[in-house]
């Protein structure tokens, strides 16, 4: 009788321990949710003038991983790209992102349009088409805004700067108002061309944009699950 009770008790303990282990493993799997972020843009994304490990995508991936998020950031940047160039290659890039659709797309384009004096109406049209594709594919998007150089004139600057918040609102995306916030115009944070951030400039950009990334639906929903 006592042996039977002991065996039953032991069996119950084993079941209890296995249940706890299962819950722990399940909890770890939730915490270890794997996300893919596609950073789609120009030289600011590509990492012009920087070693690969010092570029935006690598620094962003490292920062998010250090915060406990299992994230892969894909570099979809092409130096010199305009919004026209981005539009022409978007669907090809989306089809090849490691065999899966990204959980979040950071859209950073427009700086080269402004530097080349491309009409804001063209930039707006291209970005609208890009956002239409991303919406059709049901991809959560964070629009990284740009600001036109002041030497383009007041009218151009006003028209250009309005593009990003207005399209973000129209297509219901998240918005990071200015990708180069805190970096543009600071010689200590830029390379010798005064246009491209150096390693420290990228670090500032990453620090500034991370809270916006973490406030998107994909991370907020996972925080709720946890």
Q: Considering 4, 95, 187, 193, which one is annotated as catalytic?
A: 193
Structure tokens at 26: 């399940």
CB 185 within 8 A of CB 150: no
| Residue 193 a catalytic site member | yes
70 vs 6: CA distance, rounded Å? 44
Q: What H or E segment, with its residue span, contains residue 34?
A: strand 34-41
Residues listed for the chain: 226
| Phi, psi dihedral angles at 6 (to 5 degrees) | -65, -40
Q: Considering 42, 103, 113, 196, which one is annotated as catalytic?
A: 196
CB 42 within 8 A of CB 75: no
| Torsion 186-51-103-125 (CA) sign | positive
**Number of helical (H) and strand (E) elements in the chain, helices listed first:** 9, 5
CB 130 within 8 A of CB 139: no
16 vs 10: CA distance, rounded Å? 10
Q: Considering 42, 43, 81, 168, which one is annotated as catalytic?
A: 43
Active site residues: 43, 193, 196
């Amino acid at each position: 009788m006592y042996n039977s009770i002991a065996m039953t008790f032991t069996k119950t303990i084993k079941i209890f321990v296995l249940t706890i282990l299962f819950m722990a493993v399940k909890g770890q799997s939730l915490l270890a949710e794997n996300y893919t972020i596609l950073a789609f843009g120009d030289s600011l994304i590509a990492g012009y003038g920087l070693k690969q490990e010092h570029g935006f995508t690598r620094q962003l991936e490292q920062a998010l991983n250090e915060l406990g998020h299992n994230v892969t950031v894909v570099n979809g940047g092409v130096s010199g790209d305009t919004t026209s160039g981005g539009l022409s290659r978007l669907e090809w890039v989306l089809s090849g992102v490691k065999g899966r659709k990204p959980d979040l797309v950071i859209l950073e384009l427009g700086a080269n349009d402004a530097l080349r004096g491309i009409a804001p109406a063209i930039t707006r049209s291209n970005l609208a088409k890009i956002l239409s594709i991303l919406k059709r594919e049901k991809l959560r998007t964070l629009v990284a805004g740009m600001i036109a150089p002041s030497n383009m004139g007041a009218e151009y600057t006003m028209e250009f700067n309005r593009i990003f918040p207005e399209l973000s609102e129209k297509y219901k995306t998240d918005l990071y108002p200015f990708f180069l916030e805190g970096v543009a115009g600071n010689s200590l944070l830029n390379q010798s061309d005064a246009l491209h951030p150096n390693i420290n400039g990228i670090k500032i950009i990453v620090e500034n944009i991370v809270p916006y990334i973490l406030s998107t639906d994909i991370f907020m929903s996972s925080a709720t699950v946890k």
